[in-house]
């Protein structure tokens, strides 16, 4: 939950950049820093560009582009293979837009949930692989969020980084309710097994009341 809270902040930071016409294009865990007091920073904007411009318009520092960026521009495949979107892997920078960053954010979410990059072999599978396929403990709800963010077709992804942040926030807010419902269901089963246990019945009433308060 702590990392996912930072992830929401990363999404908001990227959404802020998008609102000003800038896309990052190299979103990955290594480019996110969490400070001692909980501050969250999105780093390394070296591949960023203004939406509507070409990569030839990227700024030149001290008269020459950094060697890695020069190679990337020549190859037209910009980003980090273990995390990049299909349109980055295909070498079609003219298709890069806000949804390219949404894919990168989904890849970061995948890493949070599994501890590994979504493309360890630097290749995209023919269909989206969700974090639940790599880690069976991942909840179905957050798995679906990651899958949508990492859809192969940009049109199938969340329309914005802000929409992805909203989805994760809703999931986070709903988790305590899911847990409380599970506790109530377990107590219902226990009271059916031990109908004369007054302590269980009292605990069930208390937990049902707690659930009602949470839902309210």
Model confidence over 142-159: pLDDT tens digits? 999 999 999 999 999 999
Model confidence pLDDT, tens digit, residues 5-30: 999 999 999 999 999 999 999 999 99
For residue 176, the Cα-to-chain-centroid distance in whole angstroms is 20
Residue the block writes with tokens 């582009």: 65
Active site residue 174: no
Q: Which one is predicted more confidently, 179 or 41?
A: 41
DSSP run (H or E) holding 193: helix 161-193
60 — pLDDT class (breaks 50, 70, 90): very low
Region 74-79 average pLDDT = 72
Given the residues 26, 139, 156, 197, the one annotated as active site? 26
Report phi then psi at 42, rounded to 5: -100, 120
Beta bridge partners of 32: 42
pLDDT at 62: 40
Q: What is the mean pLDDT of residues 92-114?
A: 95
Structure confidence at residue 63 as a pLDDT band (50, 70, 90): very low
For position 65, what pLDDT does the model report?
47
CA dihedral 15, 74, 108, 82 (to 10 degrees): 170
Residue 126, C-beta contacts closer than 8 angstroms, at least 6 positions apart: none
Question: What's the average model confidence in pLDDT over 112-126?
Answer: 93
pLDDT of residue 64: 43
- How far, in Å, CA of 14 to CA of 17, rounded? 5
Q: What is the pTM of this model?
A: 0.77
Using only C-alpha atoms, the chain has a radius of gyration, in whole angstroms, of 22
Q: How confident is the model at residue 72 (pLDDT cuts 50, 70, 90)?
A: low
Residue 119 has pLDDT above 50, yes or no: yes
Name 26's Cβ contacts closer than 8 Å, sequence gap at least 6: 44, 46, 47, 78, 79, 80, 83, 84, 104
| pLDDT of 198 above 70 | yes
């Amino acid at each position: 939950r702590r990392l996912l809270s930072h992830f929401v902040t990363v999404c908001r930071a990227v959404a802020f950049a998008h609102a000003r016409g800038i896309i990052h294009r190299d979103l990955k865990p290594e480019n996110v820093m969490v400070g001692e007091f909980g501050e969250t920073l999105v780093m390394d904007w070296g591949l960023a560009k203004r939406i509507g411009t070409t990569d030839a318009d990227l700024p030149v520092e001290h008269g020459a582009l950094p060697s890695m960026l020069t190679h990337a521009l020549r190859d037209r495949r910009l980003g980090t293979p273990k995390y990049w979107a299909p349109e980055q892997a295909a070498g079609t920078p003219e298709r890069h837009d806000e949804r390219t960053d949404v894919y990168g954010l989904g890849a970061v979410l995948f890493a949070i949930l599994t501890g590994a990059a979504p493309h360890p072999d630097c290749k995209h599978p023919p269909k989206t692989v969700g974090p639940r396929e790599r880690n069976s403990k991942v909840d179905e709800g957050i798995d679906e969020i990651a899958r949508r963010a990492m859809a192969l077709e940009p049109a199938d992804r969340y329309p914005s980084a802000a929409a992805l942040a909203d989805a994760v926030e809703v999931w986070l807010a709903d988790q305590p309710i899911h847990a409380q419902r599970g506790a109530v269901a377990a107590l219902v089963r226990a009271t059916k097994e031990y109908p004369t246990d007054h302590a269980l019945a009292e605990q069930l009433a208390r937990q049902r009341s707690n659930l009602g308060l949470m839902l309210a």
